[in-house]
A = this chain, B = another copy of it.
Amino acid sequence: MVTIDDYGEYETAWCPGCGNFSILKAVKQALVASRLEPHQVLFVSGIGQAAKAPHYLNANVFNGLHGRSLPVATGAKLANPKLAVIVESGDGCNYGEGGNHFLAAIRRNIDVTLLVHNNQVYGLTKGQASPTTAEGFVTKAQPEGVFSMPFNPIAVAVAMHAGFVARGFSGMIDHLSNLIQQGIAHRGLALIDVLQPCVSFNKVNTFAWYKERCEPLPPEYNPTDWQSAMKIACEWGDKIPIGIIYRNDRIAFEEHFPVLAQGPLVEQDVDGAMLKEIIEAYV
């Protein structure tokens, strides 16, 4: 049986008090609860503070470019559908630089768990606005405050009929861990947007700020009802709903490829006879 110790414990480069620590803990718990062993899991990340997370546990890791974790994860999943693939990266990475891949991953519904550490700021580059930063938020790069409307990943994902759309909060580890576990179990893209205080650069959306607002959806909430999901997706104010906001059972992308039912591509030989037949057709 896999235990939390199998996932190790490492020194990090994060600031003391950062919300990332709790997310890391929740991830480990979820992996254990999912009975996954380290070598069965592939973490793909981009660049940013959040993107360092996979370095701090035992697993396969591909820490790629800023904004590009979803395509890498998609490729890896399509090469080896047996891997449990988890993307872990920041709000800037996934909704900023990587916005186009976010849309495409939802459309594909590739079986990847997408964990976005959403601290509403670019942490690693020292506090510029991210796509989820609130209007009016002042930074050194936005001295007059942010002019753009914040990106609502949940609303866009629900509008696009993503297969699994959830919001968590780093301050509620068990709740979050459970969401991640369900996300991993879900066949298809599972978006989990995790509200995460950045103690160094976000002095507005602090731990206390989130704590005061985050409220788990009631047990009777039905995440398969698109209409109400769309409504919940837009709630963001004194109350911020957390939990699984929407889900459906769209077929996972990799299931469209019969070849992948046979397992990892690397294990499959080149069919010489078929190749010959194909080449001979050029006569």
Contact = CB atoms under 8 A, between A and B. Distances in A.
Q: How many copies does the complex hold?
A: 2
Interface residues of A, number: 33
Contacts of A156: 103, 156, 159-160
Contacts of A99: 99-100, 103-104
A109 B159 contact: no
Nearest to A154: B159
B103 A147 contact: no
A5 interface: no
- Chain A, interface SS category: helix
Given A100-B100, A156-B156, A107 B161 contact: no
A148 interface: yes
Contacts of A106: 149
Nearest to A105: B148
B104 A148 contact: yes
A147 B110 CA distance: 11
A159 B152 contact: yes
A233 B159 CA distance: 9
A108 interface: yes
